A and B are shown apart, each in its own frame.
Chain A
Amino acid sequence: MPQNDVVQPQVRVRCRFFARYAEVLGTATHELQVPRGTTVGSAVQALRERLPGGQALPKVPLAAVNLEHVDLGHVLVDGDELALLPPLAGG
């Protein structure tokens, strides 16, 4: 009997939201489980579908994984920290 994580391997991703994204979602963090091989873009789609208020997130937000800017094709691995970044406004 194969283990469940062998049949359908999942990765756990810690999601973080900032500024207006945190405001519209009502939370600054979310633990997301997605299939192995999921890209940042697919994770964003999952967040938009699963989170209350998620539709307010843009389909193509700026994103960072483990403190590095990434594009939406970046593949997530177990334990990653995915941050969705509103348009940057430093200075």
Chain B
Amino acid sequence: MPFVTHAPIDVPALLAEVARRDRGGTVVFLGSVRRSEDDGPVEAIEYTAYEEMAEAEFGKIVAEAEVRWPDAGFAVRHRLGEVLTGEPSIAVAAAAAHRAAAFDAARWVVEEAKRRLPIWKRERFDDGSRQWRDGSGVAGASDTA
């Protein structure tokens, strides 16, 4: 499965990818498009990517995670295109023998994804206006998750 997708994220499919009889702990992280007073009346976020690089970089992150947690399984997706408020834009599933490794591994993959994936977002507000949102401070430095 490609790691970046224009389709809604299929969480049961991710769970199936990481399931194994010796993995007793599974953590799924979903980062969803958020609406809050700080963010303004966000209706949706449009995600764009340098798709070839995002795919390659996500693959590297998973490969590095598999070295750090050799017995764990990982399934990851990042959605592109317009994602409505409340819908997930990123999903990471990590399954390991025990919960501690599953939590640690899932957290590590999420943080690396946010730090390394060449993906950008443009907010669409209730009134139809749009603005790019990134960590530069122009539109606030917070994020969806």
Contact = CB atoms under 8 A, between A and B. Distances in A.
Interface of A: 16, 18-20, 23, 64, 67-69, 83, 85-91
* Most A Cβ at <10 Å: residue of B113, B120, B133, B134: B120
A86 B116 contact: no
Contacts, number: 77
Contacts of A64: 50, 53, 118
Nearest to A66: B53
Nearest to B119: A90
For chain B, the bracket of interface size reads: 20 to 34
A83 B90 CA distance: 23
Given A90-B114, A91-B113, A67 B133 contact: no
B118 A83 contact: yes
B52 interface: yes
B56 A67 contact: yes
B143 A91 contact: yes
B144 interface: yes
A85 B57 CA distance: 14
5 contacts: A16-B50, A20-B134, A86-B120, A88-B118, A89-B133
